[in-house]
Amino acid sequence: MWKSFVIFFFFALTTSLSLSSCVGPKDDDSPAHTIVNSYTALSQQDSVGYLETLAREKREVYEALPAAAHSLLREWKGNRPEITVLSVKRSNGTATVLYDLKVRGRNPEEQDSLLAHTDLEEGGWKLGY
């Protein structure tokens, strides 16, 4: 009985650890996670999801110019982002995220050391200018 409990516990622990490493950061509302969510929404052609990741000022621009949002989604069609967050610096409700971006798919490319600015608003981190 004890041996089966140990085996079950070990299996459950290794499974949960491997699954948690696949889903990314545990903090679903972090500046880094906002960047990942933004690119994920673009690659999945999810305009509503993309707009939800944007800070109010940036979101209002895309809402006023829907053709710009559609153009951005067309650019991302058939592409998959791979994001490596290098650092996050927070200060007074804003954060700067330094990351590398690899795009796989229809238009592959790699960009290193990109900066994104996020703002803490509406109780969550949003991608700003």
For the entire predicted model, the pTM comes to 0.76
- Is 2 within the bounds of a domain? no
Measured CA to CA, the distance from residue 51 to residue 38 in angstroms comes to 8
Q: What angle do CA 86, 90, 94 make, to 5 degrees?
A: 115
Among 105, 128, 110, which residue's Cα sits nearest to residue 44?
Answer: 105
The model's pLDDT over 22-71, given as tens digits with 9 standing for 90+, comes to: 444 345 789 999 999 999 999 999 999 999 999 999 999 999 999 999 99
Q: Domain count for the chain, please give it.
A: 1
Token output for 9 = 């516990």
User: What's residue 12's pLDDT?
Assistant: 40
Q: Is 33 part of any domain?
A: yes
pLDDT at 85 over 60: yes
Q: Which band of pLDDT confidence, cut at 50, 70 and 90, is reported for residue 122?
A: confident
Let me know if residue 22 belongs to a domain.
no
Judged by DSSP in three states, 17 sits in: helix
Burial of 90 (0-12, 13-18, 19+ CB in 10 A): middle
Q: What is the pLDDT of residue 29?
A: 83
The CATH number of the domain where 53 resides is what?
Answer: 3.10.450.50
Q: Which structural domain, as residue segments, surrounds residue 99? A: 28-127
